[in-house]
Amino acid sequence: MIPVPVKNIARFLMHRRAWRFVSFDYCPVCDTRSMIVYSRELERWLADLTASWEAGEDFKRMLAMRENFLCVTCMANSRMRMLARTVLDLCGHATSGDLARRLRSDPLFSVYETAAYNIFRIDALKACPRYVVSEYLAPDRFGETIGGVRNESLECLTFPDDSFDVVINSDVLEHVADIDKSLEEVRRVLKPGGYHVLTVPVDYSLEHTVERARMGQGGIEYLKSPVMHGDTVRNTGVLVFRDFGRDAASCLSREGFPCLEMQLPGRHGEIASVFIGKKAA
């Protein structure tokens, strides 16, 4: 475990009006004993982003909490740390350093994250070929490397069947047009008994998941007014195809591929749901 770098503490002190110190804690995203802070700037940005959304105030507050409480070493939020912790627990590891050591030493074990080092951000994993990451970068070059990152679509993955022990999705499935294809592709590339570990934002005021948009013959058909989430790849944001409700676990389950929801409480009053799907052995 790496101690919090002095430069990150210095960055916090230089901009302390923008942050509120919360605690020192272990961050499983970057394998660091780190400072956790609450970002007032992020709080304001999320309030502006969600102001026009057709969603309840409780959902907006929940979203603001799960996306905050940042690790000053890697800037991972509370939701990301809970997702990383869940993956480590499922794999039987105490730290992300332990996960990296297993990936280096066990040639039969492999992990796929559908974003480029979003959930685990340590150099030891980046150097391991059995920790595979990708982004959706171009619609006609799937399986290729673009700008140093593998290009994949969750609706048509290019990996062989039974490739991975774990697939990690972080707030992705609300943005895919065809969730059935996406879940089938995840199931296909998982080994028997493998885990799909993911998060999606859940509006618990909704009894049922609501479709906001769909793909038609002429392109995107909007069923409700468009909503865009922030995106680290595209400055324009990314379209939301569905708002998950209290039936999210059911929506994410398929025959032979059930999904369970774990509502995990953070240390600071925040709650993030982490979903675990398991492919039948």
Q: Write the pLDDT tens digit of every residue in 132-191.
A: 999 999 888 999 999 999 999 999 999 999 999 999 999 999 999 999 999 999 999 999
What's the whole-number mean pLDDT along residues 81-106? 97
Burial label, 48 (beta-carbon count in 10 A; 0-12, 13-18, 19+): exposed
**Short-list 115, 79, 121, 82, CA closest to 100:** 121
Least confident range of 29-33, 37-41, 52-56, 157-161: 52-56
Q: CA–CA distance from 130 to each of 105, 150, 153, 162, 165 (Å)?
A: 10, 14, 19, 14, 10
Start-end of H helices in the chain: 6-14, 40-50, 57-66, 78-91, 96-105, 123-126, 179-189, 248-251
d(CA 236, CA 41): 19
Say whether pLDDT at 260 is over 70.
yes
Contact 88, 28 (CB under 8 A): yes
pLDDT at 5: 55
Contact 71, 30 (CB under 8 A): yes
pLDDT at 272: 86
pLDDT band, residue 228 (cuts 50/70/90): confident
pLDDT at 235: 61
pLDDT at 174: 95
Q: CA–CA distance from 44 to each of 19, 49, 61, 64, 178 (Å)?
A: 12, 9, 12, 9, 32
Quote the distance between the C-alpha of residue 167 and its chain's center.
11
Contact 246, 235 (CB under 8 A): no
What's the whole-number mean pLDDT along residues 59-79? 92
User: What tokens does 9 get?
Assistant: 């503490």
In three-state secondary structure terms, 82 is helix
Quote the distance between the C-alpha of residue 126 and its chain's center.
17
pLDDT at 16: 66
What's the whole-number mean pLDDT along residues 256-264? 94
